[in-house]
């Protein structure tokens, strides 16, 4: 445990960003003034504040050359993210997002690893209209990004057991209870783009407490929350700052084991940073959940590191203090002692793909969307298929933490209709998708993400293409294991607890990780660093061959890599016969 104990904000030397938040008038900044200026981008201060409103200013690196030829510099566009607790949407909401990606975005839509939707390439001048229309269908972009609690994740499966409905209702309650209270968002965006007249009254009374939970500085860093059942960790609960794992007795939820301090982000050049899995803190009853969640956030608010953003996530506070001291402080803010965790822990993972009975006489269908990208081209018409399914069948829509879609509440007669729509638009059904492709995912990376060092989403499909046949020859084509890829070490696709991961380290080069767990309960180790893109397939096939030749009965790929360790895995991969 480090002796570098964080101080309270009153004694810390605040960063410029902390002062910016404090002086922003609760996230207003000078955004309103900049929206009226005829420029294609925002200044550096407002760029930071706009994150709290659900957006990042980006530069499409593929278009830079054309922009420079036309006398410009960068090809600016905004990425706009919706906040969708538990990934639950109506067909109307889903269709509205598809319309916006065509009208104002780059004609593609991205389903994220946190069960939300991103639109890319939105011009500054179209922001107000886009955000207003998202709110018109009862969605929001507020707090989808920024130093606040972001989208609350939850197992999205539709089941008639009562348990799934209960945790999904809790995710909605958490999202509402932990949301920022500033009306600055509505003042900026809920106005008519033509007349600038407010369609939703904003403003808070003078002297009122605007942000009772967050305060004027908000949190030191982003904060992520998830809820799930022990037998289905489809939301990767250990990768979140705060997790609520349902404890079930006799078919009823009696409470939740509280997990704290998970986070995937890391800066390789800074040894003081690291990925971390959440730690088990305490057991709470259902009526305690919201107040305990607020207590955890308030501890992070008051004691998290505001001097160094690289060490500002809650995992570092817990690392420096230890879980015992952190729990004691949460109890102090909560107002009473908490019970210890029950033995219940993660025991399963269902990606909810394919046809599944809901238990109420209706069906759900999980459709694998590779890397979450919806698009239309001459080979595949994903958007058109989605439009027709939602238009004809009007299902409830659920977004998964693996970037895919579940259509819910379908009749038996709808099954053939849905499959025919997919085939007509050349969209592979989940049953026609290889296991390795189904369990893979990638972040956006190039060309739009400003943090990206190298490719991710655009090249993972070709990597999967290259390993499908070797896996089949090895007889491993039905083995479920996660392969996750990111274009930088920020960890947006949760690579560090994956069975296998590729993390961008330099242009065209990756750090190859192995030994994580399908259940998300173990961190992977660095197997090889600076692996050239052209060598990735060979390295992966070596690992698969070693696994085939040396695994124990019932052993998963991640468990095998963990058991043998890095050095032995390298030796075994070199010696194993390749397909």
State the Cα–Cα distance between residues 102 and 529, nearest whole angstrom.
40
Average pLDDT of span 229-234? 97
Q: 83 near 93, Cβ under 8 Å?
A: no
pLDDT given for residue 135 in this prediction:
97
Would you call 208 helix, strand, or coil by DSSP? coil
Instruction: Dump pLDDT digits (tens) for 105-151.
Output: 999 999 999 999 999 999 999 999 999 999 999 999 999 999 999 99
Quick: pLDDT tens for 234-251.
Answer: 999 999 999 999 999 999
Does position 315 have pLDDT exceeding 80, yes or no?
yes
Do the domains at 219-350 and 354-433 have one common CATH topology?
no
Range 166-194 burial, b when 16+ CB lie within 10 A, else e: bbbebbebbbebbbbebbbbbbbbbbeee
Whole-number mean pLDDT of the chain? 95
Question: How far is the C-alpha of 247 from the C-alpha of 301, rounded, in Å?
Answer: 28
Other beta carbons within 10 Å of 305: 23
Number of C-beta neighbours around residue 133 at 10 A: 16
At residue 1, the pLDDT reads 43
- Tokens standing for residue 26: 């609760």
Of 14-28, 191-205, 366-380, the range with the lowest mean pLDDT is: 191-205
Q: Angle at Cα 458 formed by Cα 457 and Cα 461, nearest 5°?
A: 85
H/E element, 408: strand 405-410
- Class of CATH domain 219-350: alpha beta
DSSP 144-197: SSSSSB-PPEE-----TTSHHHHHHHHHHHHHHHTS---SHHHHHHSB-TTT--
Whether the per-residue pLDDT at 360 is higher than 60: the answer is yes
Tokens at 212, concatenated: 């009772």
Residue the block writes with tokens 């909810």: 352
Mean pLDDT (whole number) for 27-44:
96
For residues 27 and 48, is the Cβ–Cβ distance under 8 A? no
pLDDT at 2: 44
Measured CA to CA, the distance from residue 300 to residue 321 in angstroms comes to 12
Q: How many CB atoms lie within 10 A of CB 413?
A: 8
Which residues are designated catalytic? 81, 150, 222, 224, 443, 449, 488, 492
Percent of the chain with pLDDT over 90: 91
pLDDT score of 205: 61
Cβ 457 vs Cβ 442: under 8 Å: yes
Give the residue-averaged pLDDT of 475-494.
97
Instruction: Please tell me what DSSP assigns to residue 320.
Output: H
Residue pair 281/237 in contact (Cβ under 8 Å)? The answer is: no
pLDDT at 204 over 90: no
Does pLDDT of 201 surpass 50? no
Cis peptide bond prior to 407, omega within 30° of 0: no
User: Could you tell me the two tokens for 387?
Assistant: 């439009």
In Å, how far are 18, 21, 86, 305, 308 from 13, measured between CA atoms? 10, 14, 37, 10, 9
CATH number of the 354-433 domain: 3.90.480.10
Task: For 100-116, write each residue's pLDDT tens digit.
Answer: 999 999 999 999 999 99
Cα dihedral sign, 452-458-461-464: negative
Angle at the Cα of 232 (from 504 to 498), degrees rounded to 5? 20
Residue 200: which pLDDT band, with cuts at 50, 70 and 90?
A: very low
Q: At residue 290, does pLDDT exceed 50?
A: yes
pLDDT band at 268; cut points 50, 70, 90? confident
Q: What average pLDDT does the segment 439-447 reach?
A: 97
Instruction: Give yes or no for residue 18 having a pLDDT over 70.
Output: yes
Cβ(278)–Cβ(260) below 8 Å: yes
Mean pLDDT check: name the lowest of 1-15, 178-192, 355-369, 550-564: 1-15
- Domain spans in the chain, listed from the N-terminal domain onward: 219-350, 354-433, 437-575
Cα 291 from Cα 297, distance rounded (Å): 10
CATH assignment of 437-575, given 3.10.28.10, 2.40.40.20, 3.30.413.10, 3.40.50.12280? Answer: 3.30.413.10
* pLDDT classification of 477: cutoffs 50, 70, 90: very high
Q: What pLDDT, on a 0 to 100 scale, did the predictor assign at position 74?
A: 87
Alpha helices (H) along 309-424: 314-321, 323-334, 382-393, 414-424
Phi and psi at 230, nearest 5°, equal -60, -35
Where do the DSSP E strands lie in 467-519?
A: 483-486, 500-506, 509-514
Question: What pLDDT, on the 0 to 100 scale, is given for residue 11?
Answer: 75
- Residues 9-32: b if buried by 16+ CB within 10 A, e if exposed: beebeebebbebbeebebbbbebe
Residue 462 has pLDDT above 50, yes or no: yes
CA–CA gap between residue 145 and residue 180 (Å, rounded):
12
């Amino acid at each position: 445990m480090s002796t570098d104990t964080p101080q309270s904000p009153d004694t810390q030397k605040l960063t410029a960003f902390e002062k910016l938040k404090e002086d922003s008038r609760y996230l207003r900044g000078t955004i309103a003034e900049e929206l009226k200026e005829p420029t294609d981008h925002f200044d550096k201060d407002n760029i930071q504040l706009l994150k709290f409103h659900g957006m990042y200013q980006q530069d499409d690196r593929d278009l830079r050359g054309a922009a420079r030829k036309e006398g410009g510099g960068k090809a600016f566009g905004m990425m706009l993210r919706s906040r969708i607790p538990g990934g639950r949407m109506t067909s109307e909401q889903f269709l509205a997002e598809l319309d916006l990606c065509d009208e104002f975005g780059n004609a593609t839509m991205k389903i994220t690893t946190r069960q939300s939707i991103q639109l890319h390439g939105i011009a500054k001048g179209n922001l107000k209209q886009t955000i207003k229309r998202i709110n018109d269908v009862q969605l929001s972009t507020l707090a989808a990004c920024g130093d606040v609690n972001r989208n609350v994740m939850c197992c999205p499966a539709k089941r008639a057991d009562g348990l799934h409905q209960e945790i999904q209702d809790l995710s909605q309650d958490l999202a509402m209870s932990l949301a920022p209270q500033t009306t600055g968002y509505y003042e900026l965006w809920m106005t008519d783009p033509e007349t600038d007249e407010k369609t939703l009254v904003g403003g808070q009374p003078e002297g009122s407490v605007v942000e009772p939970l967050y305060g004027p500085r908000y949190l030191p860093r982003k904060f992520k929350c998830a809820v799930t059942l022990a037998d289905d960790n489809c939301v990767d609960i250990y990768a979140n700052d705060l997790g609520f794992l349902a404890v079930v007795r006799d078919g009823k939820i009696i409470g939740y084991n509280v997990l704290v301090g998970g986070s995937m982000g890391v800066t390789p050049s800074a040894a003081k940073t690291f990925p971390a899995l959440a730690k088990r803190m305490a057991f709470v009853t259902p009526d305690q959940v919201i107040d305990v969640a607020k207590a955890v956030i308030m501890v992070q608010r008051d004691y998290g590191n505001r001097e160094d953003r690289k060490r500002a996530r809650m995992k570092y506070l817990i690392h420096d203090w230890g879980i015992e001291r952190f729990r004691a402080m949460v109890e102090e803010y909560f107002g009473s002692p908490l019970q210890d965790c029950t033995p219940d822990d993660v025991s399963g993972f269902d990606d909810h793909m394919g046809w599944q009975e809901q238990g109420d006489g209706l069906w759900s269908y999980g459709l694998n969307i590779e890397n979450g990208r919806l698009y239309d081209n001459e080979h595949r018409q994903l958007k058109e298929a989605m439009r027709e399914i939602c238009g004809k069948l009007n299902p409830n829509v659920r977004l998964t933490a693996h970037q895919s879609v579940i259509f819910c509440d379908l009749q038996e007669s709808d099954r053939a209709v849905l499959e025919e729509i997919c085939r007509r638009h050349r969209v592979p059904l989940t049953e026609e998708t290889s296991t390795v492709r189904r369990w893979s995912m990638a972040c956006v990376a190039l060309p739009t993400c400003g943090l990206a060092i190298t490719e991710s989403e655009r090249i993972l499909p070709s990597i999967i293409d290259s390993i499908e046949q070797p896996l089949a020859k090895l007889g491993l084509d039905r083995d479920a294991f996660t392969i996750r890829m990111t274009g930088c070490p920020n960890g947006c696709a949760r690579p560090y607890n994956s069975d296998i991961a590729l993390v961008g380290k330099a242009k065209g080069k990756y750090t190859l990780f192995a030994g994580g767990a399908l259940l998300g309960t173990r961190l992977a180790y660095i197997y090889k660093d600076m692996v050239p893109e052209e060598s990735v397939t060979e390295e992966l096939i070596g690992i698969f061959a070693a696994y085939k030749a040396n695994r124990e009965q019932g052993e998963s790929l991640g468990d095998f890599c963990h058991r043998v360790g890095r050095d032995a895995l390298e030796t075994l991969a070199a010696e194993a016969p390749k397909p």
